[in-house]
A and B are shown apart, each in its own frame.
Chain A
Amino acid sequence: MWERTLQDLIRGLRANKKDESKFIAKAVDEIRKEVKSEDMELKAGAVLKLTYLDMLGYDMSWASFHVVEVMSSPRFHLKSVGYLAAVQSFDQDTDVLMLTTNLLKKDLTSAPADVAMTLNGLSHIVTTDLARDLTPELISMLTHSRAHIRKRAILALYKAMVKYPEALQQGIARLKEKLDDPDPGVVASTVNVLCELARRKPEDYLTLAPQLFHLLTTSTNNWMLIKIIKLFGSLSPHEPRLVKKLQPPITELISTTPAISLLYECVHTCIIGGMLQGPSGHSLAKMCVSKLAAFIQDADQNLKYIALLALVKIVPTHPHLVAEYQDTILASVNDQDISIRMRALDLVSAMVTPNSLQSIVQQVLSHLVPDSSSTAAPTAAQSLAQHTVPGSPTAFKPLHMSPSQSPAYRLVLSQRILSMCSQSMYENVTNFEWYLSVLVDLAHVANVDVGSQIRDQLVDVVGRVKGVRRYAVKLMYTLLCDDTILHNARDEGTCSEVLWAAAWICGEYCSELSEPQKLLPYLLQAEMANLLPEIIAVYIQASSKIFGYWAAEVAQRWDDDDLAEVKSTVDLIIGRVREFVSNPDVEVQERAANTLQLFTFIQADLNAYRPRPIIDNPFAEASSSFDPMASGEPRFPKSLYLIQPLHGTYELNPVALAAQASVPIPDGLDLDAWIVAPPPEPVAGDDAEAKVRKVKKGKGKEVNGSKAKSGKKKHKEEANGGDAVVLMAPEGDTETPEQREQRLAERRERMRDDPYYLIDDQPSTSKRVDDDLDSIPVVRLEGMPSLTPGEIYFILPIPTLPSLREDYTPSSSFVIDRDGEMPAGAVAPSLVPSRTMTPVSPESSTPARMMSSFPQYEVDEIRTSTPEPIKVTRPKKKTPGKKKRTQNGSLPHVSNP
């Protein structure tokens, strides 16, 4: 009979720290016996011990029935143990709760102490069922003679109404009466509850405004005043007259109250309650901001923190007022306290304007720079030094345990930089060259995993802002040449994904480079095997693009001396790509294999090439459509033109989000039509099932677009009578030989056209047979008649090109293609305005870079020389409906780099 009490248990726990789990297992075994005891004292003791263990994280849900038993004890000290255990361990799914309804009802009519305890317990354990059954009792409690009980009843009623909203109407009416309760504590509790309710649905509580207003002007209880002020903060946005009425007393409170918490709530309510609009609001706004600014400069860190919280909310409406304190706020980003830093970052990002963006971003970026700048890449350090705005504290030295070192915080910082710059489609970025350099710096210093976000930004900016492409290529070139990232590619936080963007940009816009072939050795370093597979794939593709562009260029000014360089470059590519042909990653493997085959062909052609006079050109007569020029054979190896058209035929533009949806469906295209008639399903009788199956088949074959016509025909047939045939087709043994023969014939007929079946008995007439292996190269060259040198020489002003591309002047304004490209025949009429507003998209369907090395940059320079400095091309607000969809374009095509 020497059971452990709670005290014994706690002492035992403290004495058995080394072997706690064993001790607890033993204790729980004892408890399991004790809770089953007939002795209520013992049972309650066990439940209390369990409650303690529950707090330590041990499960006690198995004992919930015993908890109810203890709750039902008539003795107050035992009952309180039961209620404590219930409050701590029950949740909404505890099944024994439905047994408690009558117990709670009884306890609510018991002695005041019991009632208080029951109300407290009920506020925690109330479920929808309990709320429904007990709301009448709770409402009658509101008029209890003791203020203490009334207070508890009000709070319990709130919890019940949350669970059982049907009680709201009646409850609110009674709560309204409680605002006039003689006891100030009861009124405070009522205000407290109303404040919670009004946050959920403010409109329903506007009628309480007069009473609350009376309380506001008469009460001196700061706790309650804070809540009333908060409550008005929820109400006033829904009642403009309330704003006018509230302004005088709140202004009065702000200037007189000694309680800072109340002062702060007043300021906060002014901001969120929309009281700062209009002429009368302006002086109030000024007062609020000056109070908050005083908080920020206060020595008390808590005031600093809440001031930042409130300023974030005032920035959207009164940016100019907050901007006066920009330096103080920026200094808070340097605060040693991470809580304050987080809020300051929020505020700073809300304050960003085109003018302040650069200094703010540099400031934030400087926090990411490691203590010893030696680890930072030289490019990052240089450009930081270049771009840092004078005056901002560049020599920021993190403290010993600076929050800047925590990876989670660094990630927040990095993402914040990206979101500040990219928000509202680069609204605040005036200099995209600066932004690109920020992105590269970020990749170097971030040391957290934001590489993929930086990559997306780089590609997006370069795709949308044509004026920045030349600079981007230059920057990416240096990034590819700098092998720090490449060497550490597999380390955590290296941001090696920027190399993806670098390779893609250099490949896609290699026309900006004067000597693109010089980049190839960097793209084809042996270390590239360290990179992620998707980056390797882009490297391979970019190499191919650059070679294609360069080779075509070499061909235009062919000199037999070039042969050696071209040959060695091809050898370099082949040598590197061959390593990846059996790469485990399927994308790398496919691209490597494709590239390898193409370049092997080029290599063979180059080897066969003999400087003129050309006597035996193997390609001259190979194709029937190729008409050799009278003036003679081209002087260069023709395979130099093999690659270029594969990549450079169309310019990749950002595509508008709505583009796919607005592609008009061509006349006569019926997507529901059968492409290939459904096979005669051997279904006996079940109509519905047959139809379901047919639909499935049809969907599967829709992909095969080339068959649309024949399919349609068959569909018609089927509509006429085919259905019947299908449904009649009998199953297995009930089929007569004739029917079977007929079915097989139909099947053969169908399969002849199906590319997925090989038919051996009748050699088909497909072109595949003609593909004699020897003629393959001929067929490939045949597709490029437009590349004959004669045409090219007329188009291009070749001699001036390299020098033209060298001279580079940074442009001060950029055109952003915000909308993205829309298909040529977009149907939706409401899209038209947005298209006309986009000066960048007219060449959307022109094959801009076919053979032209004429830099795009020139086009943009002409455009940007117009007086307006920045063309922000945004769709007109007047076009409703589609506006949202067209505003943000998706990324440029990057799926096929």
Chain B
Amino acid sequence: MIHAVLIFNTSGVARLTKFYTPLHQSSQTLIPKIFSLICSRPASLCNFLDAPELEAFLGPKGDEDERWRVVYRSYATLYFVFVVDGAESELGILDLIQVFVESLDRAFENVCELDLVFQFDEVHHILAEIIQGGLVLETNVEEIDNSVQLSAKLRKESYASANPLSLGLGVGGAGSRGGNLKSPLGWLTGKITGARAM
């Protein structure tokens, strides 16, 4: 099964952390460790992270099948890292990362790092359509996109019915306050303000 899904950027800042199995060590030490190992690897190397420094984390030695593996892929400024065990196909997970990224791209339309920063809850909802409890739920990008859009629509409707005066959508789930003008253009606004803040 899949034990963890992590996304962090090229500076090592975590953008998404999702653990399906409770860790025996703090995630706050694990992420920097994985990051430091991954960021020193040129793109030409393989997508499996295997290093002596990680031995302790990957589980007991000897039982090769039960050992965890770290599979990662890098897209632009982001690293997508999956931690899996022997029940998953190594190459299959590489494809699954691709499916995840494609689904994000569909939901956010040309996904960039800022989308993940400001809509981390939406990223979680998308991931929940692909993986549930560490097991793969769906691998078809079409199906995933349909489910994501359906539940996003339901959340929007629910928000609108609870806040009849609000003008737009509350993708953030909680009501956006303070004269937040969220229109279809709100995406852009969010991106621009985010970019400025950066």
Interface residues of A (CB under 8 A from B): 1-3, 5-8, 10-11, 14-15, 41-42, 44-48, 51-52, 55-57, 75-78, 80-81, 84, 87-88, 91-92, 113, 116-117, 119-120, 123-124, 148, 151-152, 155-156, 158-159, 185, 188-189, 192-193, 195-196, 199, 223, 226-227, 230, 260-261, 264-265, 272, 300-302, 304-306, 309, 312-313, 336-340, 342-343, 401, 406, 408-409, 411-412
Contacts and interface: CB of A to CB of B under 8 A. Distances in A.
Contact of A302 (B47, B52, B138): B47
Given A52-B120, A75-B158, A151-B138, A5 B132 contact: no
Contact of B91 (A120, A152, A264): A264
B183 interface: no
B168 interface: no
Chain A to chain B: the 6 pairs with minimum beta-carbon distance, closest first: A123-B133, A45-B174, A261-B91, A301-B46, A339-B50, A408-B52
Given A55-B17, A116-B151, A193 B174 contact: no
Contacts of B198: 14
Interface string B163-198: 100000010111111101000000000100110011
Nearest to B69: A309
Interface in B58-117: 64-65, 86-87, 89-92, 94-95, 117
B155 A77 contact: yes
A133 B27 CA distance: 31
Contacts of A124: 20, 133
A227 B87 CA distance: 8
A92 B22 contact: yes
Interface residues of B, number: 74
B135 interface: yes
A626 to B, nearest CB: 62
Contacts of A185: 138, 140, 143
Nearest to B53: A408
B22 A261 contact: no
Contacts of A3: 177
Interface string B109-132: 000000001101100110010001
B136 interface: yes
Contacts of B132: 119-120, 123, 152, 155-156
A46 B173 CA distance: 11
Interface string B31-71: 00000000011001111111111000000000011000000
Nearest to A229: B89
Nearest to B93: A261
B87 A196 contact: yes
A263 to B, nearest CB: 9
10 contacts: A41-B163, A57-B28, A78-B174, A87-B124, A113-B150, A113-B151, A155-B135, A300-B46, A306-B90, A411-B52
Contacts of A312: 64
A354 B47 CA distance: 35
Given A148-B147, A342-B52, A401-B40, A5 B136 contact: no
A269 to B, nearest CB: 11
B18 to A, nearest CB: 8
A309 B176 CA distance: 51
B162 A41 contact: yes
Given A5-B172, A41-B175, A148-B147, A76 B50 contact: no
B173 A77 contact: yes
B143 to A, nearest CB: 7
Contacts of B159: 75, 77
Given A41-B162, A302-B46, A196 B176 contact: no
A342 B172 contact: no
A232 to B, nearest CB: 13
B135 A158 contact: yes
B141 interface: no
Given A77-B170, A302-B94, A340 B158 contact: no
Contact of B133 (A88, A156, A305): A156
B52 A6 contact: no
Nearest to B1: A196
B91 A260 contact: yes
B167 to A, nearest CB: 15
B4 interface: no
Contacts of B177: 1-3, 5, 45
